[in-house]
Chain A
Amino acid sequence: MWKTAEYTGWGRFYRAKGELARPERASALDRIAGEAPCPAIGQRRSYSDGCLNTRGRAIATDRLDRMLGFDEETGVLDVEAGCRLSEILRFFAPRGWLPTVLPGTGFATVGGAIGMDVHGKNHHHVGSFGQHVTGLTLHHPDGRREVLPGDPLFAATIGGMGQTGPIGSARLQMQPVKGPVMMVTERRVPDLDSYLELFDTTEATYTVGWIDATATGGNLGRGIFEEGETGAGLVPPAKRGKRIPMDAPNFALSGPVVRGFNAAYYRRIPDRGRTVVKPLEDFFFPLDKIFDWNRLYGKRGFHQFQCVVPLAARDVLREMLTKVSASGLASPLAVLKRMGPGRAGMMSFPTEGYTLAVDFPARDQAAEMIRRLIAMATEAGGRVYLAKDAFATAAQMDAMYPERADWAALCNGLDPDHAYETDLIRRLDLRAER
């Protein structure tokens, strides 16, 4: 029933070696939950150590991937926790429905989306993933437990990083969709102020901004702003995915290469902008077509820093970008977005403000830089996303997550032996009752 495996998060920086079970049916999950309680993990699309349990055990949920029922009237889908969001999209979009919230990767599972209360490009309108969960099933040592919104256990489970036990299945409120394609308007944005202005005034359903984290001076914060609306139309043929065959050499993402790439990427969009029709997958999951793209960062792996800062903290955002671009450490992947206040769990990341995400190859200077950025976010009353974090400290947690202690008490009551803890929980001492 247990297999010893080495595994990593998406950033391939933190690694774990431990025993994994892989139940293929709900009754097998019941058995493991009873005999050997341990954390459940999904597709390990979290960047750092949230999906790792070094020297311990974990439950891989990838075989629990079936759709169990759908109510056409209400649009509620009953689905096993290991089902990938891309599968739900692929299956439901042609039938006129979409998961209400989709993160930037379709590999994320329903369980992982709940565990991190993920947000999507429409967060400013519809809130987080957990706000559209109408019920879920936890598999506890003493049996299954249905948990509904309003129950304190629900708020502890959404964004709860697996600490309330394995989720076997969940009910998701889907939303009707106009058509199977996305009309995307892309335009160049010359600097940070114009960027934030656009985010503050846009009325589009989906918005996201790529940002050139290498641009300095007057170009600081320049990027490409994307607005999307679903629509009907001809679906362009989907291209087959490509695979990164090996770990890239270290110079692949060096400063000059990235600067050159970013400048070209920016100019790709005509001055006056353009509107294109994209398959939904291409809009929601732009990177998923390149399988294993994390290998581009070479053996040492990489980090993503993601924070959200209050709307009033524009200057902090500017300061962060200045530091990042001056350092020459950033990779081409940097994203800016305005978030609404929507969140469903005690430990959910989303909160109203601007969120900035920047990837860095794993190097000592990058770690140094990320630590500084984390400190700035904390000071500004913001927080970092625990699905991404690699370097925050336990001391910073209570400022970022004010409900942490209550959440910890609830988890500890349920799991006094701390059997569900992952490396992330231990690193940040998240279940300490301080």
Chain B
Amino acid sequence: MTDATTETWLILGATSSMARALARKLAERGAGLLLAGRDMDDLQATAADCSFHNASWAEAIRFDARDPESFGPIVDRMQAETGTLNVAVFVGSMPPQEEIDAQPEMIDGVVSDSFTGPARLVHALAPLLEARGSGTIVGVGSVAGDRGRVGNYVYGAAKAGFHTYMSGLRNRLTRSGAHAVTVKPGFVDTAMTWGLDGMFLVAPPDAVADAILTAERKRKNVIYTPFFWRYIMMIIRAVPEPIFKKLSI
């Protein structure tokens, strides 16, 4: 039943401008697109735009990382598609650290959005890819997950958890011929970072989408995007903890 000529992509968090850039590029190469998220109105606009741009089909579907009830229909919808199944995870939330400090119960939400919610859905989808022996799961983490910093360590911790999950998933999927790519963006020019202080070397969403497609094609394991963040993070990770704990970067 696997038809190698068709590819279907499920995009979780498809309202993100990074996800939109990826969806547009996938549309241009004729993929089928299932755009998942909370803002149905906006997802429908992106679906229309992708249909224009040559997607073989594009549909919006409801997905709330904090509402597991929304996961089942997505799995069913994916199962119904023939061909290669792929998933790209862009979900995540980064409330200001001060807000979390004032309301520690927010931690659960951040972890659900950036890690456990999408992981739970991906976990239900992985067997489909394994059964077909193909497909890629792209997981967007963050350089913030490479080391905890005072400015956003709850978000960073959720992303670190997600990175570790992705690494294990890759280890699992490779046995069947499917694949998992971990993507660690640096600063990207999106709604999440618009107007935040301290941004530098900010990359356009389009560049991230290109990097993701290259990584998928070359079956890369872990990418930093733009690439130089690999070196920046190497340095940041190398700072000894006694010094690091005194920094505020």
Contact = CB atoms under 8 A, between A and B. Distances in A.
Partners in one complex: yes
B182 interface: no
Contacts of B17: 24, 63
Contact of A26 (B20, B42, B49, B52): B42
A66 B49 contact: yes
A22 interface: yes
A1 B52 contact: no
- Give the size range of A's interface with the partner: 10 to 19
B197 to A, nearest CB: 10
A4 to B, nearest CB: 8
Contacts of B195: 1-4
A375 to B, nearest CB: 44
B194 A3 contact: yes
A421 interface: no
Interface residues of B, number: 16
B194 A22 contact: yes
Contacts of A1: 194-195
Contact of B191 (A24, A68, A69): A24
A66 B39 CA distance: 16
Interface in A1-48: 1-4, 21-22, 24-28
A24 B189 CA distance: 11
A68 B49 contact: yes
Contacts of B190: 24
A68 B39 CA distance: 16
Contacts of A91: 52-53
B45 interface: yes
Given A1-B194, A28-B191, A70 B52 contact: yes
A281 interface: no
A68 B42 CA distance: 10
Interface string B31-61: 0000000010110011011001100000000
B41 A27 contact: yes
B15 interface: yes
Contact of A67 (B41, B42, B52): B52
A21 B195 CA distance: 8
A26 B41 contact: yes
B177 to A, nearest CB: 35
Contacts of B20: 24
A26 B15 CA distance: 11
A212 interface: no
A71 to B, nearest CB: 12
A26 B45 contact: yes
A289 B104 CA distance: 52
A2 B39 CA distance: 22
A227 interface: no
Nearest to B196: A3
Interface string A65-84: 01111100000000010000
Query: Taking each of B15, B17, B191, B194, which has the highest tally of chain A beta carbons within 10 Å of its own beta carbon?
Result: B194
A69 B42 contact: no
A22 B17 CA distance: 12
A67 B49 contact: yes
A80 B45 contact: yes
Interface string A263-284: 0000000000000000000000
Interface in A54-102: 63, 66-70, 80, 91
A421 B41 CA distance: 30
A392 B67 CA distance: 59
B194 A25 contact: no
A98 to B, nearest CB: 16
A153 B17 CA distance: 32
A266 B119 CA distance: 66
A63 B45 CA distance: 13
Contacts of B52: 67, 70, 91
B225 to A, nearest CB: 19
Contacts of A25: 15, 39, 41-42, 45
The interface centre, meaning the residue of B46, B52, B53, B191 with most chain A CB atoms within 10 A of its CB, is B52
Nearest to A22: B194
Nearest to B195: A3
B48 A67 contact: yes
Nearest to A77: B52
B41 A66 contact: no
Interface in B12-26: 15, 17, 20
Nearest to A4: B195
A371 B20 CA distance: 47
B45 A68 contact: yes
Interface in A199-225: none
A69 B48 contact: yes
Interface in A215-255: none
Contacts of B15: 24-25
Contacts of A3: 194-195
A167 B26 CA distance: 29
B118 to A, nearest CB: 20
B39 A27 contact: yes
A66 B195 CA distance: 23
B66 to A, nearest CB: 19
Q: Give the residue among A28, A66, A70, A80 with the most B Cβ atoms within 10 A.
A: A66
Nearest to B50: A66
A68 B46 CA distance: 8
29 contacts: A1-B194, A1-B195, A4-B195, A22-B194, A24-B15, A24-B20, A24-B190, A24-B191, A25-B15, A25-B39, A25-B41, A25-B42, A27-B39, A27-B41, A28-B191, A66-B45, A66-B48, A66-B49, A67-B48, A67-B49, A67-B52, A67-B53, A68-B45, A68-B48, A68-B49, A69-B48, A70-B52, A80-B45, A91-B53
User: What are the nearest 5 A-B pairs in CB distance?
Assistant: A3-B195, A66-B49, A25-B42, A67-B52, A68-B48
Given A24-B20, A26-B41, 19 more contacts: A1-B194, A2-B195, A3-B194, A3-B195, A4-B195, A22-B191, A22-B194, A24-B190, A25-B39, A25-B45, A26-B42, A26-B45, A27-B41, A27-B42, A28-B191, A67-B48, A67-B52, A70-B52, A80-B45
Interface of B: 15, 17, 20, 39, 41-42, 45-46, 48-49, 52-53, 190-191, 194-195
Interface of A: 1-4, 21-22, 24-28, 63, 66-70, 80, 91
